[in-house]
Structures are given as structure tokens and as C-alpha cells.
Amino acid sequence: MPSVFGSLTKIPELRKRILYTIVMLGIYRIGVFVTVPGVDRAVVHKLFGASSGSLFSLFNMFSGGALRQMSVFALGIMPYISASIILQLMAVVVPSLERLQKEGEMGRKKITQYTRYGTVILSIIQGIGIAFYLESLRSGLGEAAVANPGWGFRLLTVISLTAGTAFIMWLGEQITERGIGNGISLIITAGIVANLPSALFNTFTYVQKGIMKPFVLFLIVVLAVVVVAVIIFFERAQRRIPVQYARRVVGRKMYGGQSTHLPLKINTSGVIPPIFASSILMFPATLANFINTSWMQDVKSALSPGSWAYMTMYVVLIIFFCYFYTAVTFNPIDVADNMKKYGGYIPGIRPGKQTAVYIDKVLSRITFGGAIYVSAVCVLPTILIQQFNVPFYYGGTSLLIVVGVALDTVSQIETHLITRHYDGLTGPKGPRIRGRSKNR
């Protein structure tokens, strides 16, 4: 392990990529504290502190606390993620988008361009809503969050929030291209991890004051380690379907005749299901802040985080979105057709339709196991709060994101290290592979 970390600083390209990623993430964290012009951040901070358990708390987590600070980055990267998901869903029903997905690099660039346009449109719509909401905010002492409301403030807020989201989107793309890891995922992870120091400080403060017993803290630490280990196990787990390729003679060459496998991940949908489920369940709590009626308050209390109704619906929605998103992103018919096109088949299964049915059957079974795993990880923090009556700052969605992004980043670093190692085998100190001379 020390030799691996030492190699990170010895490889110039990898060192530059890591430093570039750190600098870009640092710029993002600085921008979190740049407040939208015309907003009293202190008033907004107090009011948002009382909105825990609503949709604002979910967006605040993914924005790294920028929404609570009412920063120019308040919308975070969520408009970009929403636009990407909308385009993926539309590709199922819009033939032109489906054709673009199959056109390779050119199609991917076109879809990325559409995603950017969608991000700007969603940012403008959300910015208008936030501008009107800020103008209506009043503290208990009658302090207004906006000193000079009006269309001038609304226009300035929309421009600031849209520009902030576009800048974050650009940062993520630059990190993906010139840094290490997936830029968008790293930005979300940086926002989540940024709250870790304050969470640890508050936890130790509770232990010192006797609010939390040391034995309970020990159990939480052990359980957190176990949960992380479970996440790593299931995120790396896959069902490998054996595939055999028949021999084909093309001209004077023979192709195929080899055995390989089709890897199917246990958790194909990633963290999308808990994000969607949380958004839907927190929507009534958010509406209750605007509609002050008795039946809305009853719905809010019934679906408050920690209640059995909330957890039951949360698990049901996670399972539903696991199957739904897997069906959208993975098409067994296309996989079976590609296998048949190149002479591949699953032993004991007829190529074509029967192969697609078999792959869909296997995928449905392992998706159920993945959905149960995701549900257990997401519901566990709520159970901890109820049983031990202690604050748990990082929910299952946060753990899934942080661990998943960490695994992906480490895999990319390992790829760079392996590539460098192979270059060293044929480098200046190793044997050279010479080409055939032109005179021969």
C-alpha cells in the first residue's frame, strides 16, 4: 500500500490529474459561500434550519450546504442530473434520441449538448421559484430575507443561480476530462464530505455532555464500518453469465471460438432509486410549508421521516425505481441481438428471443436482491435514530454516493497505474519491440 501511494506522486500525468481535481473541488467549495446578491444570508440560514425533513434538506445535502447559505451554487448539480435522467427516459419513447444513443461518440456529444440545454432550462424554472420563495420569507422577528423585492431581484437571482449551475456543470466536465474520476459525482461527494468535520465535532460534544454514551458511539462506529463493507461488496458484486462465441472463417483468418462472460451488476441503478424515492416522499412536507391547512399538516406528520408509513413507502418506492431504472438503462433484446450478430450464445439457450428472455429473467432476480440491499442501507439510519435516540448525520443515500464514487475513483487510479506499469516493461530500461524494416 505505501508503494502504491508513492507511485501517485512519481507518475507526472497522474499527479497533475489529482492536483487538478483537488484545485477544481476547492474552487467549488469557495463558491458555496458566495451569497446571491440582495439576500440576507443570516435570515435564510435560520429559516432553513427549521425545514429539516423537507425537500429543501435533500437539495441542501446534494448542494453541499449551498442552499442553506443561499449561495450562487444553491441549485447545485441537481438540474444537470435531472436533465440527464429526463433524456434517458425520453430515449425510450423518442426514436430519434434512441438512434443518437447508438451512434457512438457523435451521438454522445449531441446528447450531452441537449443535456446542457435542459440544465439551463431547469435552472431558470427553479431559479424563478426560489426568487419568489425568498421574497415571501420572514423570520419570527419580522426580518425579511430580501431587502428590495421586485422583478429586478428576481431577474438577478435567476441569472446568478443559472450561471452558478452552469459553472458547476463546467467544473464537473473539466474534472472528468482533465482530472481523475467522474466530475459530477465528485462534486456531489465533496458537498457531502464537507459536513463531516462539523458532524464529528457535534458527536464528540454530545459524548462529553453525556447526551450520547460512549458505548453507543462505539456501536455506531462499528455499524458504520460494517455498512461501508456491505456497500463495497454489493457494488462490486455481479452475476456472470457464460457466453461462447462460435468459430467463424473470414477470408484466411478464423475468428471466435472463445469463452467469455456477460457481467450483470447486482445494483444496476446505483443511487438513482433512493434519490427519486426521497424526492417524492419529501414533496408533501415541502408543500406543507406553503399550504397551511389541517389535512396538509396531517399528511406531513404521517410521512415525516422516522414514521413506519414513511419507511414502508420509502422501501416500496426504492424497489419500484430499481426495476424501472434498470429496465430503462438495460435492454436485454439489444444485448441478445448483438451477441447473435457476432456469433455469441449462452450454452443451453437458443440465440435470439430465448437469450433475451433468459437475460431478463436473471436480471429481474438479481435486481430484487439489489433493491433489498439499497432499501436496507437507506432505512438503517432512521432505525438508528429511533432505537438509540441519537443524531445520525449521514443517511444511506449519502453513504452509497460517497462509497460508490470512491470505488470508481480508485478504479481509475488503478487503471493509470497499470498502464504506467506496462509502459515501463517496454520503456527505455526494458526490451524494445522493433517494427519491421522497410528494406526487408
Comparing 1-194 with 204-421, is the CATH topology the same? yes
Residue found under cell 440560514:
45
**pLDDT higher at 207 or 436:** 207
User: Which band of pLDDT confidence, cut at 50, 70 and 90, is reported for residue 427?
Assistant: very low
Assign domain 1-194 to a CATH class.
mainly alpha
**pLDDT higher at 321 or 143:** 321
Statement: residue 56 has pLDDT above 50: yes
Statement: residue 395 has pLDDT above 60: yes
**pLDDT higher at 370 or 331:** 370
Distance, in Å, from the CA atom of 42 to the CA atom of 346, rounded to the nearest integer, reads 63
What is the structure's pLDDT at 426?
41
User: Which band of pLDDT confidence, cut at 50, 70 and 90, is reported for residue 389?
Assistant: low
DSSP annotation of 292: -
Instruction: Return the C-alpha cell found at 378.
Output: 437507506
Please determine, looking at this structure, whether the domain spanning 204-421 carries the CATH number 1.10.3370.10. yes
- Per residue in 229-256, pLDDT tens? 888 898 888 888 888 887 666 666 665 5
What is the structure's pLDDT at 425?
34
User: Which band of pLDDT confidence, cut at 50, 70 and 90, is reported for residue 24?
Assistant: very high
- Counting residues of the chain whose pLDDT is more than 90, the rounded percentage is 12
**pLDDT higher at 161 or 1:** 161
User: Which band of pLDDT confidence, cut at 50, 70 and 90, is reported for residue 162?
Assistant: very high
Contact between 39 and 69 (Cβ < 8 Å): no
Instruction: Print the SS3 string covering 262-310.
Output: EEEECCCCCCHHHHHHHHHHHHHHHHHCCCCCHHHHHHHHHCCCCCHHH
User: Which band of pLDDT confidence, cut at 50, 70 and 90, is reported for residue 168?
Assistant: very high
Instruction: Return the C-alpha cell found at 208.
Output: 462529553
Chain centroid to CA 147: 36
- The overall average pLDDT reported for the chain is 79
Instruction: Return the C-alpha cell found at 183.
Output: 466530475
- Per residue in 303-353, pLDDT tens? 766 677 788 888 998 999 899 888 877 888 888 888 888 778 888 888 888
* Mean pLDDT computed over 112-138: 86
Domain boundaries, the chain: 1-194, 204-421
Distance, in Å, from the CA atom of 282 to the CA atom of 303, rounded to the nearest integer, reads 8
* Mean pLDDT computed over 359-380: 90
* Mean pLDDT computed over 265-288: 77
Distance, in Å, from the CA atom of 420 to the CA atom of 53, rounded to the nearest integer, reads 48
- Single out the residue of 40, 49, 401, 375 nearest to residue 191, CA to CA: 401
What is the structure's pLDDT at 437?
42
Statement: residue 428 has pLDDT above 70: no
Contact between 319 and 269 (Cβ < 8 Å): no
Identify which of 51-60, 74-83, 379-388 has the greatest average pLDDT: 74-83
What is the structure's pLDDT at 309?
79
Statement: residue 135 has pLDDT above 70: yes
Least confident among 17-26, 73-82, 112-121, 304-313 = 304-313
